[in-house]
Structure 1
């Protein structure tokens, strides 16, 4: 019997466990279907290459064949380990834009989701390097928007590349302003990303929120290898539905966990796992559940709908006169030098996030602000997991920040061990296809600037022969891939919104004692990487749960 049962020890789950177990009178159980984060490649930043696609750390999901990607299916990484996706992601600290949260407040009718109301929740757990001992590095405005002393460490990257500096200069020449802070409400500009690392090591949510605080608390329990099969629901004489616990498959066998009266079960299993568990429990679209022989407990048509993701379109340019990771790693001496630098200084290529340089720009199709994000890397390869090209090159990946295409996550059977059907529906709308074509044109415009001329950039992908909007949109489908930001599948909304799964305080409609607290509750995707907004959601939810108790 527990006061709080948290399903999923990922980004949101670790913070929730920390906040809720701070009250010694409350017994808290954190359930994680994956294993412990003791794999060394989790902690070495470049180790994401060894974690994505690895059954030890990744659920190995695949999308359905995507019409917008010209029939291709994509690998869809999700963290299968303590820390969840914070243990395998790109480590980029990014809040999004103020307008994202204003839209959430409008969609829910709750001013608690406005930018200024969310800012304290970001700041509460932040530990920003610019506010360390030498606080003179930070302006008064920066200090007002950022935090220090919290659990979530934000640091600058420990390397630079001449070719990336040249790209940044070219972006400025193309009209994109330089920026030294992407997290003040408007992220327009170009600059190096800041990352969730500490001294050259990945800083995941396990390190931040579970160790050492939670592990030392007698009222806290953590079960790993504990896969929830379905939620335990009961209906009162009045007809009201109540969540009473969950059925869990553990290394010891099938076990039941139950809530004390007045307790809550909190789903923090992510944009794939949370709708999957709701559907398995009879909470979801009635027609889908009935077709699979699952008794409908509550018809919630929005469960698994509204899937949104950022599709990155990877342009590759061969260059001259600039060192990139492609040729740096071709010799044993180059590899040894990289390893030695990391061993001694915790810097260099082994400390690098998947993307180092970022830019937020305008496609020309959104009048309200930047709608494109660039992730620029000093390397190139045909596809993730394949060898680097044998020539020097950089990759300028660009994604549409606010796609209008919507997809679905749906279970295939009542078997909890079977992966759900994931259909993102990338580039399904005319608007998204137009933005994709405009993004490729903007990339060419940046690369054509004088700052890059000395390197004689040569377009390898998608290819300079593609010029029309139709050709570029099709090329985007050929080379586009997920940047691992699924959200929205249990969206929050107003009472009159039939597709809203949770209310503005993240309580599941029609089911007492049950909340969803993860990226699935976002009504619209944020304008950037989604890990830190998920932490903010968890911070806000923890305060509401404790206040309610």
Structure 2
């Protein structure tokens, strides 16, 4: 089969690309997805995130290598392997980041095409924000965005008042004029159901005769004629199939699979390629490097007030919550794990907010380590306050484990490899303790469960940070775009350096991580990528 564009990956980026590129009915678009269909009840149900966390039928379920920064522990990295990708299994918090993030992109690429103004236009084009239009918000787009305030738990209101007492002002909209402050998160749901990238973009595109989607189809390799990428080799149902791209192949397989596929095709560190018998096509050691992630830490509190634990822990309350959801699309099952939160400065010396805070009204401290059963939480009232660095300086990398395309790569997160990140987290946990001691929260908190009041000194707090920090599931940057060929994988137009007919348009293209959750920024990048591709086509380019 031939297509004008072959999009590898039907995740957050691939779904947007499929929709936008196929809007020209003269262009045939082929989307290749390693996972299967997204029809599961737990995908469409917002709190189903917890049921899918370890479900390998929809999840790549990566494991990292031992990480010295967290006492040599290995980490678990869930990533979506299903139509919609991680947008089908994530916690749905919608954050755009702040203007400074994208001005850094413009600086890295030396292009205003990736600056704050261009990003704002892309955001406005994809979302339908219940809070109305602004410079960074749109109406009438494919992604519905609404605040969690209407379902606010009393503890959420107390949390926002407590933040004000320690100098974190209320903020009615993290995606508005300013990000700093405390408020309610916005999520992408409509009538109580998750609206993933597949729901918003891919399903409409699939109604067009010029779009074909292959599911459970693993791309084994890229095809080349000379230096031009001409297509892909796919393993589907145990059979090898080849597909030709008349115009371009666009990798949108995510921050892990995209660099892995480049490395498998001989685009990466030449020494690594030779070690696995892979012919070297482009020697670029930056492929798989520049790995960035938000890593975080939770403090757990026993509560004097009921939390969502009491709604979902007793079996009869779970049944009632299920009946309520089916009847009304409301109640605990229609909520995100994270209801409220904040963006704040860990100390007065920080020029910009450097930390993100999540209030979680469900806890699973008694859960087994290989499960996240949000529908069977702890049997006592409790909540958690979760922290993460939003612009960490630490950088990791991923490398091939071998030449087998089905083998997961080796992931080295290098958490806290930069001491500045550890310093920020230490400042933040001290501020978090101040937050819990304010009147609005101290009236609710029965006791701190983890790490517990005995952990007080800086050395004890740092030990706890290293022992309990985990990913916040936002890997990016592993095929960074940039103006300088000596420190980037992609050109500012997202072309893979050293070859023709091949681009990358997903989280791996980020030059730097953005301040907040990544799902909306990934869709935004894909929208900008599609505009660039179509503009090049109209000018007669590849």
TM-score tier, shorter chain, comes to over 0.9
Structure-2 residue corresponding to 1:310: 294
Deviations 1:500-534 (A, max 9, x none): 00011111111111000000011110000000000
The answer as to 2:158 corresponding to 1:175 is: no
The answer as to 2:214 corresponding to 1:223 is: yes
Structure-2 residue corresponding to 1:59: 60
Structure-1 residue corresponding to 2:540: none
**Preserved contact between residue 168 and residue 191 of structure 1 (Cα < 8 Å):** yes
What is the CA–CA distance in structure 2 between the aligned matches of 1:76 and 1:228, rounded to whole Å?
21
What is the CA–CA distance in structure 2 between the aligned matches of 1:365 and 1:273, rounded to whole Å?
39
**Cα offset for 1:436?**
1.4
What is the CA–CA distance in structure 2 between the aligned matches of 1:50 and 1:11, rounded to whole Å?
20
**Cα offset for 1:81?**
0.3
Structure-1 residue corresponding to 2:136: 145
Structure-2 residue corresponding to 1:506: 494
What is the CA–CA distance in structure 2 between the aligned matches of 1:6 and 1:201, rounded to whole Å?
27
Q: 1:400 aligns with which of 386, 389, 392?
A: 389
What is the CA–CA distance in structure 1 between the aligned matches of 2:26 and 2:475, rounded to whole Å?
36
**Cα offset for 1:257?**
0.7
- Name the TM-score, length of structure 1 as normaliser: 0.94
Structure-2 residue corresponding to 1:3: 4
Unaligned stretches of 5+ in structure 1?
Answer: 132-141, 236-240
**Cα offset for 1:43?**
0.3
Deviations 1:151-175 (A, max 9, x none): 1111223522111211111011111
CA separation of 1:205 and 1:175: change in aligned 2, threshold 3 A = same
**Cα offset for 1:365?**
7.3
The answer as to 2:147 corresponding to 1:161 is: no
What is the CA–CA distance in structure 2 between the aligned matches of 1:146 and 1:40, rounded to whole Å?
30
**Cα offset for 1:145?**
3.1
Partner SS for 1:130: coil
CA separation of 1:185 and 1:473: change in aligned 2, threshold 3 A = farther
What is the CA–CA distance in structure 2 between the aligned matches of 1:371 and 1:116, rounded to whole Å?
22
Structure-2 residue corresponding to 1:370: 353
Structure-2 residue corresponding to 1:495: 484
What is the CA–CA distance in structure 2 between the aligned matches of 1:266 and 1:12, rounded to whole Å?
10
Structure-2 residue corresponding to 1:531: 519
What is the CA–CA distance in structure 1 between the aligned matches of 2:446 and 2:272, rounded to whole Å?
51
**Preserved contact between residue 361 and residue 373 of structure 1 (Cα < 8 Å):** yes
What is the CA–CA distance in structure 2 between the aligned matches of 1:105 and 1:41, rounded to whole Å?
39
**Where do 1:349-498 residues align within 5 Å?**
349-364=332-347, 367-382=350-365, 385=372, 388-496=377-485, 498=486
Corresponding residue pairs, total: 529
What is the CA–CA distance in structure 2 between the aligned matches of 1:19 and 1:57, rounded to whole Å?
25
What is the CA–CA distance in structure 2 between the aligned matches of 1:28 and 1:334, rounded to whole Å?
47
When structure 1 is superposed on structure 2, of 39-48 and 363-372 the one drifting more is 363-372
What is the CA–CA distance in structure 1 between the aligned matches of 2:102 and 2:177, rounded to whole Å?
10
**Preserved contact between residue 120 and residue 135 of structure 2 (Cα < 8 Å):** no
Deviations 1:470-527 (A, max 9, x none): 321221121211111000000011134x230001111111111100000001111000
**Cα offset for 1:123?**
0.3
**Preserved contact between residue 37 and residue 82 of structure 1 (Cα < 8 Å):** yes
What is the CA–CA distance in structure 2 between the aligned matches of 1:459 and 1:339, rounded to whole Å?
31
Q: Report the aligned-residue RMSD.
A: 1.5
Structure-1 residue corresponding to 2:503: 515
**Cα offset for 1:469?**
2.5
Deviations 1:416-464 (A, max 9, x none): 0001111111111211111111111111011111111222441111222
The answer as to 2:293 corresponding to 1:330 is: no
Partner SS for 1:229: strand
- Name the TM-score, length of structure 2 as normaliser: 0.95
What is the CA–CA distance in structure 2 between the aligned matches of 1:505 and 1:366, rounded to whole Å?
37
What is the CA–CA distance in structure 2 between the aligned matches of 1:285 and 1:186, rounded to whole Å?
41
Unaligned stretches of 5+ in structure 2?
Answer: 538-542
What is the CA–CA distance in structure 2 between the aligned matches of 1:24 and 1:366, rounded to whole Å?
54
**Where do 1:27-38 residues align within 5 Å?**
27-38=28-39
Deviations 1:52-99 (A, max 9, x none): 110111011111111111121121001010000000011111101111
What is the CA–CA distance in structure 2 between the aligned matches of 1:409 and 1:39, rounded to whole Å?
31
**Cα offset for 1:342?**
1.4
What is the CA–CA distance in structure 2 between the aligned matches of 1:281 and 1:365, rounded to whole Å?
48
